Amino acid sequence: MKRRNFITKGTLGALSTLIGSEIVYGAKIPLGYEPLALQDPDPFKLFNKDTGMTVLNNKPWNIEAKAHLLDDKVTSNKYMFIRNNGLIPENIDVDNWTLTIDGESVQKSKIYTLAELKSKFQHHTYQLTLECGGNGRSEFNPPAKGNQWTVGAVSCANWTGVRLRDVLEDVGIKNNAVYIGYHAADVHLSRNPEKEPISRGVPMAKALQDETLLAFQMNGEDIPLAHGHPLRLVAGGWPASASGKWVNKISIRDRVHDGSKMTGTSYRVPCEPVAPGEKVADEDMCIIESMPVKSLITYPKSGAMIKEGQALNIRGHAWAGELEVTKMEYSIDFGSTWNPCTVERPINRLAWQHFSARINNFPKKGYYEVWARATDSQGVSQPMLLPGWNPKGYLNNACHRIAIKVV
């Protein structure tokens, strides 16, 4: 008779903690089995999210906001999207958390405790825009595989930490350094410890920017577990996948990092335009770097109704990756004509910008759509409709639209 393998005492303790009580006969749970109480947990309570958020996936967890929930100038935890590739790590020991810096291009590998990072290096706080590369994927046709994000996989919180640049200068990096790659404590969906769910990175120029942080606080408090507690990399303006959560190692590479989700079609788009549905060879795909210009109307909520003759105030946010937004416009006639919005400067580089406008010119009762269009500092504007198709449905920066009815 084949013997059954049972879970360890440590795992049993973790399961009991998650459930909130002792698991009677817990020692008899077969290895790999997940108790029913944990199979469909309430994500809103589990992650302290607003119940208006939309759950796209629970294995791994992927949750997005609706546009109107992102109205605040600084995104709070309850409205912040979750994008995971693996399982959230369990039993995090903050007191013994370490960060290893290694790779082909370091003078000598070095290990820092979290306490050492906090005490040895100056702290910096920046408000930084993080957007999933697949935000807006649901609009692509033919459909692209992956979580069908609409518009809510974007946030702009205040992140506090130490500059990655300062840490790398302390370690000493060689002249042949080309890229960094991060490694983290999240667990592959298979639970195979030899597999990493995701291990991406950025070129050295991005790694050495002032705003690229090893962060340990979000909005003045410890980073919530779902967003990378106790330590995460934050590289604003690039796909949020470059901002690794639960980071415990950074490799300084003498080549483009080749970790999980760095090759093939992952976070890559065709280097040249392709026809919808066309297959693209790996060598013809380019890594996504700075995110494109984009905007989001956060007030009013789509479907709002106003009385005839009443003005409508709109507001929202706009961002442009490494660049600034220099012009914001709105249209109520499906893009035939455009009117100016007021747009604020970013509070710091890589933060989103806030725009507003007062619309007085609805000519009569009926159905309208308000479209928003941002233009970046290089003169590039959002496309009115879906931009070029790509196999994974990345970089949809089409104009955001809300429905309005004048009665």
Digit-coded pLDDT (tens) for 148-176: 999 999 999 999 999 999 999 999 999 99
Region 294-406: CATH code: 2.60.40.650
Element (H, E) at 56: strand 54-58
Digit-coded pLDDT (tens) for 23-32: 888 888 887 7
Boundaries of every domain in the chain: 1-39, 94-287, 294-406
**Distance (Å, whole) CA 104 – CA 252:** 6
Same fold, 94-287 and 294-406: no
The beta strand positions in 152-246, using DSSP E, are: 154-163, 179-184, 201-203, 213-218, 221-222, 232-234
Mean pLDDT of 183-193: 94
Digit-coded pLDDT (tens) for 19-58: 677 888 888 888 777 777 666 678 899 999 999 999 999 8
Distances from the Cα of 255 to the Cα of 204, 242, 354, angstroms: 11, 16, 38
Distances from the Cα of 365 to the Cα of 335, 372, 404, 407, angstroms: 19, 21, 10, 5
pLDDT higher than 70, residue 3: no
Digit-coded pLDDT (tens) for 77-89: 999 999 999 999 9
- Residue 26, judged by CB atoms within 10 A of its CB (0-12, 13-18, 19+), counts as middle
**Distance (Å, whole) CA 279 – CA 186:** 31
Distances from the Cα of 110 to the Cα of 114, 124, 217, angstroms: 13, 22, 23
Residue type, 90: E
Contacts of 20 (CB under 8 A, 6+ apart): none
The per-residue pLDDT for 28 is 84
Residue type, 225: L
Mean pLDDT of 293-310: 97
pLDDT higher than 60, residue 2: no
Digit-coded pLDDT (tens) for 218-233: 999 999 999 999 999 9
The per-residue pLDDT for 257 is 98
Domain 94-287: what homologous superfamily?
Oxidoreductase, molybdopterin-binding domain (3.90.420.10)
Q: Edge-to-edge strand order for the sheet containing 61-64?
A: 54-58, 61-64, 82-83
pLDDT band at 301 (very low <50, low <70, confident <90, very high): very high
- Percent of the chain topping pLDDT 70: 96
